[in-house]
Structure 1
């Protein structure tokens, strides 16, 4: 019986540990409550755009502990060379992927104005971000 209890308790703990790997929310330098997901941030191989998501609140896994009153997680594509950003939508529960035709979204001036200091940080770290072929 003790083995069964240990086994049953181990499964949720393993699931929580696995979920934590998928999200790594970091506070951008100089920010007080705006976080970016370091694990989600990547460079699109075909366009060189940096895709990221940001949120305001606490850093302990917004998709698991994010109160509805805090608002959504915001998804952006950043054109670092042109200092422009693209709004790719909002995500309330972590299930939203990139929308179809996302590369054709309108580009808006001033990355820092939308993404804050996280945008500047990601553009500076662009060469070290994973380069992947996004849909």
Structure 2
């Protein structure tokens, strides 16, 4: 069976406004644990070089496969194409708009917030990945 790919949003999911406070956070531990069982990619909106820089400053960039990076100015328009190319994905995002479209396309989705703990995130991903 192919490894499931987790596509993470960057802003307000992985990195918050104050990048410096995010260097030693719950997400690092979650990414370390998840990277052994899943392929990790990015699904975000904005300028690619700025989004990547945020992850590098927060020391998170090395967790992600360089060939699974989808960053554009309108990520929702790309969602169907991404799913066609990578049908075995789970999107992790803080946007209910993304969740709504993912649900319409039958894409697995985990909604996160700033209050989501590392353990909650890992548990949700592991639970949703069990179901076809």
TM-score over 0.5 for the pair: no
Point out which structure has higher relative CO (alpha carbons under 8 A, 6+ apart). 2
Which of these two proteins has the greater Rg computed from alpha carbons?
1
Q: Quick check: which one's helix share is greater?
A: 2
The TM-score normalised by the length of structure 1 is 0.25
